[in-house]
């Protein structure tokens, strides 16, 4: 997909969002290094089956970016520097997401994509980067034929906003983009939200 379909500056924002293609692996690596305790994940957690013993995450992520016909996510830039990341792909590409009690699909919605993971560098948090990434992820999914996009955000009203709880986004952020809650299976678990694209 041409970068112009997801790049550019959103209204009122200085964030540029681009697909994670091989030339941007160095920028993605810098974001992963900034993830603190999660720096070894390389955004592969949802892509593994529960109980699976996969290849090292860094190696698997590089192979995914270099070999996938569609980029597995988007990188946000501000003033030319990488400041955030969002994973976005067809739901079928996330076995662990599909197997989770709170995150499993509500139905067999054909053409559903998922946005299961965000990361924003600490100094850029609260400045609109995650919102810009979510907008771009929806546009990216739509441009690749998605019929719906789903997220599994946390609800700050039921669980503290720790990095572990917040890396899937928040219910308010998804609601602001038009997503609606379709399932809440446990009182303090992640909330399944969906945006139908027609």
pLDDT of residue 10: 43
What's the predicted TM-score (pTM) here?
0.90
Euclidean distance between CA atoms 101 and 104, whole angstroms? 6
pLDDT of residue 147: 96
Euclidean distance between CA atoms 118 and 92, whole angstroms? 19
53, 44 Cβ separation under 8 angstroms? no
pLDDT of residue 171: 95
pLDDT of residue 157: 86
Q: Is 37 left (phi over 0), alpha (psi -120 to 50) or beta?
A: alpha
Q: Give every strand in the sheet of 73-78, ordered side by side.
A: 15-19, 73-78, 81-90, 112-120, 148-151, 192-196, 180-183
- For residues 191, 194, 195, 196, the Cα torsion angle rounded to the nearest 10 degrees is -170
Nearest Cα neighbor of 163 from 16, 34, 30 is 34
Range of the domain at 131: 3-196
CATH of the domain at 183: 3.40.630.30
Report the number of distinct structural domains present in the chain.
Answer: 1
- Give me the residues of the chain with pLDDT under 70, please: 1-13, 160-165
Euclidean distance between CA atoms 154 and 14, whole angstroms? 26
The count of C-alpha atoms lying within 13 angstroms of the C-alpha of 92, restricted to the half-sphere facing its C-beta, is 6
Q: In sequence order, what are the residues at sequence separation of 6 or more whose Cβ sits closer than 8 angstroms to the Cβ of residue 28? A: 20, 61, 65, 75, 82, 85
pLDDT of residue 6: 43
pLDDT of residue 161: 67
pLDDT of residue 93: 96
pLDDT of residue 132: 97
pLDDT of residue 164: 63
How many Å from the N-terminal Cα to the C-terminal Cα in the chain? 21
Euclidean distance between CA atoms 87 and 46, whole angstroms? 10
Q: In sequence order, what are the residues at sequence separation of 6 or more whose Cβ sits closer than 8 angstroms to the Cβ of residue 6? A: 17, 18, 19, 74, 136, 139, 140, 143
Structure tokens at 148: 């719906």
Q: Give the CA radius of gyration of the chain.
A: 15
């Amino acid at each position: 997909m041409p970068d112009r379909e997801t790049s550019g500056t959103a209204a009122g924002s200085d964030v540029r969002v681009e697909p994670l293609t091989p030339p941007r692996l160095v920028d993605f690596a810098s974001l992963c290094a900034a993830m603190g305790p999660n720096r070894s994940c390389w955004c592969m957690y949802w892509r593994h089956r529960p109980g699976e013993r996969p290849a090292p995450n860094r190696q698997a992520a590089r192979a995914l970016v270099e070999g996938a016909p569609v980029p597995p996510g988007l990188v946000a830039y501000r003033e030319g520097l990488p400041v955030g990341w969002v994973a976005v792909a067809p739901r079928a590409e996330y076995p662990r997401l599909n197997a989770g009690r709170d995150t499993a699909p509500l139905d067999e919605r054909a053409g559903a994509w998922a946005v299961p993971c965000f990361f924003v560098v600490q100094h850029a948090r609260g400045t609109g980067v995650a919102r810009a990434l979510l907008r771009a992820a929806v546009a990216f999914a739509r441009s690749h034929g998605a019929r719906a996009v789903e997220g599994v955000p946390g609800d700050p009203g039921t669980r503290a906003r720790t990095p572990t709880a917040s890396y899937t986004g928040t219910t308010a952020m998804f609601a602001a983009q038009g997503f609606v809650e379709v399932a809440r299976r446990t009182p303090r678990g992640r909330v399944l939200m969906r945006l139908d694209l027609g």
